[in-house]
Amino acid sequence: VRDDIRFDSREDDAIERTLTGLRQVEPPAGLEDRVLRAVHDKMEIAKDPVDSRRWPAWASWAGLGFAAATALLMVAIALHGHDGSKSEHQAVSAPATRLPDTTAVVNPPRNEFDGATSVRPAKHQVHQVVREAHPKHLASFLAPEPPLTDEEKILQRIARSGDQRPWAILNPETRARDEAASEAEFEQFEQGSK
């Protein structure tokens, strides 16, 4: 029992010293001035978000030029990508996606040497066929496992650590006794703090 008392007082001592250290923190000198300056700066920016004193005229023109060039470049890429994506899509997806025989019904194959124009299946038709070919795509994902209950967590802890003491918590009588003791201790704490 004496060891327990000594042990507890050592823990309490360390806790108290740490909390006292937190309690005694003093704000740095000049905090108010720096806070006011930050608020002031924020307000200046809010009042005049594009300040002409900070942005010279050449920078504005350079910015406009850059924006125009970027827009042109994006249009060019979009146009090029539109044409290119078709051939790329055909080249990549054709061997990877093995369409079942139903494709033949939807889009009969054309011989490239028969002089007829090659017709690709429409995108939605391909998707439909692929879904039919792979029914697992329609299945939703499994719901995640529910979290462990408190009792399961205790069992897990016992299994991992080999510590047998938590078994006592699973016993309703022991738990009720512990709770009553804890309640009494809290009431003592409450009376002490008043």
Supply the minimum distance, in Å, between the C-beta of residue 40 and other proteins.
5
Give the binding-site size for other proteins (rule: CB under 8 A): 35
Contact 99/133 with Cβ under 8 angstroms?
Answer: yes
Contacts of 167 (CB under 8 A, 6+ apart): 158
Which range touches other proteins (CB under 8 A), out of 17-25, 90-98, 125-133, 143-151? 17-25
Residue ranges with strand state E in 41-162: none
Task: Pick the stretch among 40-48, 49-57, 65-73, 172-180 that binds other proteins (CB under 8 A).
Answer: 40-48
Dihedral sign for Cα 50, 56, 61, 66, please: negative
Per-residue b/e over 29-58, b at no fewer than 16 CB within 10 Å? eeeeeeeeeeeeeeeeeeeeeeeeeeeeee
Residue 120: name the closest of 133, 103, 135 by CA.
Answer: 103
Min dist CB 155 to other proteins, Å, is 19
Cβ atoms of 99 and 126 within 8 Å: the answer is yes
Residue 150 interacts with other proteins (CB under 8 A): yes or no: no
- What does the per-residue mask of binding to other proteins show for 87-116, with x meaning CB under 8 A? ------------------------------
The answer to whether residues 129 and 100 touch, using CB atoms and an 8 Å cutoff, is: yes
Q: Does 51 bind other proteins (CB under 8 A)?
A: no
Q: Tokens 């010293």 correspond to what residue?
A: 17
Judged by CB under 8 A, the stretch of 36-44, 80-88, 151-159, 171-179 that binds other proteins is: 36-44
**Contact between 167 and other proteins per CB under 8 A:** no
Q: Which of 5, 32, 49, 191 binds other proteins (CB under 8 A)?
A: 32
Q: Does 21 bind other proteins (CB under 8 A)?
A: yes
How much of the chain is in helix, strand and coil states, percent to nearest 5? 70, 0, 30
Task: Choose one: 110-118, 134-142, 172-180, 182-190; the region binding other proteins (CB under 8 A).
Answer: 182-190
Interface with other proteins (CB under 8 A):
7-8, 10-12, 14-15, 17-19, 21-23, 25-28, 31-40, 42-43, 182, 185-186, 189-190, 193
